[in-house]
A and B are shown apart, each in its own frame.
Chain A
Amino acid sequence: MRLRDFIIRRILLAIPVVFGVLTITWFLSHMVGDPVVMYINTNTPASAIPGIIRSHGLDQPPHIQYFIYLNNLFHGDWGESTSMSFRPVTEVIAQRFPATIELALVAMVFAVLLGIPLGIISATRKDQMIDHFTRIFSLAGVSMPIFWFAIMLKYVLYYQLAIMGLPHLPGGYRYDSNRFYWFQYTTGFILIDSLVYAHSIPLFVDALTHLVMPGFCLGYLTMAIITRMMRSSMLEVLREDYITLARAKGLSEKVVIYRHALRNALIPTVTVIGLAFGGLMTGAVLTETIFQWHGLGQWAVSAILSADLAAINGFTLLVALIFVTANLIVDLVYGTLDPRIRFG
């Protein structure tokens, strides 16, 4: 029951945060463009525009408009995305969300699987050659201009290899639509759809190769963050008294590190992983643009450039929700890792 109370309280605390994000974006986006474009298209006759303005309350003062927007939001009407030929924002999100999540999850899996071991190695061999290399490798990840990295990867692994006639990685898109022209999304997650619905191993492999470059590109930054956090928290933990006690018990160095130190060192790392998931959504903006990945990030950039207000609001709201959810999950994981934290 305490766990349920904890979750409820966290959700209540998250409401003002989401609300704040919503408010700021709404007012910012209405400084970017004229909201009337949300409701008209090229076929709308000019004479109809005043009527549209009135019927949507756009002649009202901004705060009234804002409440109208909120009201629509709660009724599931997130507006229409002008840059996506006036399709409802919710529909675009539903269509594009799986693409971004799939990419983010692949990046995250890669980051965690590589980041945590690297952090441990770096910490346990502090100031040795391997530590220096790991630190440079991970700091380079934090310092990498992700758009440049994506272009360079594409240049070497796609363009150059293709010129030389060697097998190469695909340079963009989620799958080869010429080869798999018959494919239709069901869940939107291509790795699932290809196996479960399309029953096509070649498509699965193809989708996987398409994921490699953007996934690595996006995951590198997160991996670097995780490695650094893991290293510093491991170093911190290894100085703790209970590690001395574990050694005094006669435990081997392996057990001391992997049983006694790791569990403690993971606690702060988990927090960072949760926060980094929010960061992945930002990184996706640049990565998706370069790899023509039809996800939310690509949509967000085009939305801002074309003053697509409903899309900007919708995207920001979604990211804020993801961020809040990720934080909640982190707190729950935290509780299972650290017995000192009790919910309630």
Chain B
Amino acid sequence: MSDDELVLKVEDLVTNFYTYEGVVKALDGVNLFLRKGDTMGLVGETGCGKSVTARSILRLVEPPGRIEGGRILLYVPNEESGNVEEVDLLKLSEEDMLHVRGRLVSIVFQDPATFPNPVFTIGDQIAEVVMLHQDLRKEALEIRIEELRNALDKLEGKGGLVSSTRREKIRERLAHYESQLDDPPEPDPKYKKKAALKIAEDMLRLVKMPAPDKVMMQYPHELSGGMRQRALIAMALACNPLILICDEATTALDVTVQAQVLNLLNELKKEVGTSIIIITHDMGVVAETCSWVTVMYAGTTVESCATEELFYNPRHPYTAGLLTAVPKLHENRERLPQIRGSVPNLITPPPGCRFHPRCDYATGICETEKPHLKEISPGHWVACHHPLPDKGGKR
């Protein structure tokens, strides 16, 4: 894979949580890559570090958690030169990070009930992020010009001396503003807000929110869960981010709404050109929406490949176990197969491969040496000393 089509590359990310019981090694060498325009599924059991990965990418890990090492490389196209610049997010200052969050990398969280701020209207909350990250000089000026034109239209019909002088004045100002269109000045806050609200409403329309003009003025508690999640997606997409991370964004919704939101995400990807990371523990969601899958286990990346490849040709024993544990309609079984043992305690994780105590194929090397993610066949990365044999081909 050539690096120029990547937008995000995470290398050996390590995040620890310092608790009373000990150091929780939540992430221990996570490797990810996301190609431009791709939808990547990040799957794994609860507690395997999916959400921590997402928050680490945005550097939103809260104390007692700390990102200890690794690189998070973001490939940002430079608009002037047209080149792609490589930025290591972990090396940015906190101030520069503010320009990344919400603009280059956005996130939609799991629970639409608790994430919007209850005391601001939906419109305000979306407009806020627009005002923060977008240069609204032109839009604000256009709104101003439009308002003046409307005023002029109203006066058109009327006669009298007063209105004619006012008309004259308005025309003068209109001409003045129109001359500025090429190089708009810093706008008045009032018009900047108006422009942002207009964009916010467009965003709500984009995410197929019913009655967007009404929703703009409503507070989060007045909306249903699905509507709130759409609003949050609109908020995340408002600045055309390079990457959109959906952290279990559909888990809290009921199945029909979940399907709508997933379809919406796929459509939006085409329209906006954003790359998406979908974090989920639901294999069905992955199969339906993702083109690429990364599997995590106990804070490490174990396998990464195209979705179809993963489903039909899993090479890591954990992935294989996980897939056989998914119930299938055409099978009739007494009991679903399961992976023996349980998820390790991340304070004292097993040495070497973190999966070896539960693995049927483990040997001595698995207990001592940590396997690295490597490309064992084209387009298929696995971190395992004894990967399963290639079943070859599709199906």
Contacts and interface: CB of A to CB of B under 8 A. Distances in A.
A250 interface: yes
Given A248-B102, A250-B129, A340-B221, A241 B114 contact: yes
Interface residues on B, range: 20 to 34
Contacts of A263: 119-120
B101 A242 contact: no
B118 A245 contact: no
Contacts of B355: none
A249 interface: yes
A245 B117 CA distance: 8
Interface in A319-344: 337-340
B132 A248 contact: no
A249 B114 contact: no
Nearest to A239: B62
B88 interface: no
Nearest to A242: B117
B133 interface: yes
A241 B111 contact: yes
A44 to B, nearest CB: 63
Contact of A245 (B62, B98, B99, B109): B109
B101 A250 contact: yes
A106 to B, nearest CB: 30
Interface string B102-114: 1100110101001
A251 interface: yes
A245 B55 CA distance: 11
A250 B98 contact: yes
A241 B115 CA distance: 5
A240 interface: yes
Contacts of B101: 247-250
Interface in B112-135: 114-120, 128-129, 132-133
Contact of B60 (A242, A244, A340): A244
Interface in A263-281: 263-264
B117 A264 contact: yes
A338 B119 contact: yes
Most buried by B among A241, A251, A260, A337: A241
A170 to B, nearest CB: 44
A45 B117 CA distance: 73
A179 B62 CA distance: 62
B58 interface: yes
Contacts of B60: 244, 247-248
Most buried by A among B106, B117, B118: B117
A240 B114 contact: yes
B103 A250 contact: yes
13 contacts: A240-B114, A242-B116, A244-B115, A248-B58, A248-B107, A248-B109, A249-B102, A249-B128, A252-B98, A263-B120, A264-B118, A338-B119, A340-B221
